[in-house]
Amino acid sequence: MLYVHIPFCHRKCTYCAFYSTPSASLRAGFVDALLREIHLRGTGHNAPVQTVYFGGGTPSLLPLHDLRRIVDTLASVFDLGRVREATIECNPEDLTPDYVSGLRQIGLFNRISLGVQSFDDSLLRLVGRRHTAAQATAAVETLSQAGFDNITVDLIYGIPGLSNDAWLEAVTRAAALPVKHISAYALTVEEGTALARQVESGRLALPDDDVVVSQYHILCRTLRSAGFEHYEVSNFARPGFASQHNSRYWDRTPYLGFGPAAHSFDGLRRRWNVADVARYVSSLGEGGGWYGEELLSDADARNEAVMTGLRTARGIPHRLASPQQMQPYIQRGWIVDDGTAYRPTESGMLYADGMASDLFV
């Protein structure tokens, strides 16, 4: 599985801690460096690729000819003949009919991840998004008409000013779109973001936890009755449309990540590229020093498996926890024991991180 990080955004959303920069002047050097990294690391890699994911940042900010160069380079180095799922993240404001038809013509992408986030323009502005709700709806329509039938949309809840009624309406509206998958995340305050500064200075107050929890349950209930399966704490899919790429991350399948800030995993070692486009470009030019890596210990590997397992409907196999450890969670209604695995309930998924850290070795 391959991940390509496109580290550019038109401007930074207030809540976002992903690595991206608005600097357009770095784009040409970035694409050349990225192609070089793909050649350097991919050559000799013989296993057929099953999933590809272009994330960011905003991949749809790249001109089509750059996307084509990247895809052509991947195809020249890897066996892409058996790719089952190839996703590209897009922002609604970029998806003109011409751009969408160009994406189709590239031929690789069969799944589009669209950053919708909200259907309320004032909330979109509050969190720094550039698009409107009407643009998001139009983008889904444009994608659908162009033949993209596997579309996923992202939503955010727990935004200051988002009422439970408005959230119910937003989830209902998203489910009525021609989409196969919905990801929904609670707004969280990440260190170093504009949102963190707004909250610290008292200019913005986040909703209480009980509001966020009730919006989570509204989300789960509404999507369940619309026919979506809740397969990971933040991810819901129509039957057969769970993200194959992300499910493989959670299964700890090895993957190669290219581009600034991209991570890779070979089954033993985790590797991370430098989160700085200028340094990425210059160190690739010099032939080294664009990444760091660590060997995962058995304990690290086990703890990661517990953490990711408890966030997914599949849960964790019995061998990763003892009955005594899980009993309090079963009593609280957070875990069910299906005889072979401890599986989180809808409520339990919310507390996956806390449970996992109790089980860490």
State the residues that interact with ligand SF4 by CB under 6 A. Answer: 9, 12-13, 16, 18, 20, 56-58, 91, 115
Q: Shortest Cβ distance from residue 15 to ligand SF4 (Å)?
A: 7
What minimum distance in Å lies between the beta carbon of 229 and ligand SF4?
25
Report the nearest approach of ligand SF4 to the CB of residue 357 (Å): 27
Distance of CA 226 to the CA centre of its chain: 22
- Residue number, nearest CB to ligand SF4: 16
Of 193 and 303, nearer to ligand SF4 (C-beta) is 193
3-state SS track over 246-282: HHHHHCCCCEEEECCCCEEECCCEEEEECCCHHHHHH
For ligand SF4, the closer of residues 2 and 156 by Cβ is 156
Strand order in the sheet with 2-6: 229-232, 235-237, 181-186, 151-157, 111-117, 85-90, 51-56, 2-6, 256-258
Beta carbons of 181 and 155 less than 8 angstroms apart: no
User: Minimum distance between the CB of residue 275 and ligand SF4, rounded to whole angstroms?
Assistant: 13
Closer Cβ to ligand SF4, 195 or 321, answer by number: 195
SS (H, E, C) 52-108: EEEEECCHHHCCHHHHHHHHHHHHHHCCCCCCCEEEEEECHHHCCHHHHHHHHHHCC
The least CB distance from residue 21 to ligand SF4, in Å, is 10
Integer angstrom CA distances of residue 333 from 292, 343, 348: 41, 11, 7
Closest distance of CB 115 from ligand SF4, Å: 6
How many helices (H) and strands (E) the chain has is answered by 14, 15
Nearer to ligand SF4, 90 or 220 (CB): 90
Shortest CB 20 distance to ligand SF4, Å: 5
- Phi, psi angles (nearest 5°) of residue 118: -160, 155
CA 28 to chain centre: 25
What single-letter amino acid sits at 58? T
Least Cβ distance, residue 154 to ligand SF4 (angstroms): 9
Q: Which residues contact 137 (CB under 8 A, 6 or more apart)?
A: 119, 177
Q: By C-beta, is 57 or 257 nearer to ligand SF4?
A: 57
Residue (56 or 259) nearer to ligand SF4, CB = 56
12/252 with CB nearer ligand SF4: 12
- The single residue listed with the structure tokens 């160190």 is 283
Nearer to ligand SF4 among residue 58 and residue 308 (C-beta): 58
Q: Is 290 within 8 Å of 34 (Cβ atoms)?
A: no
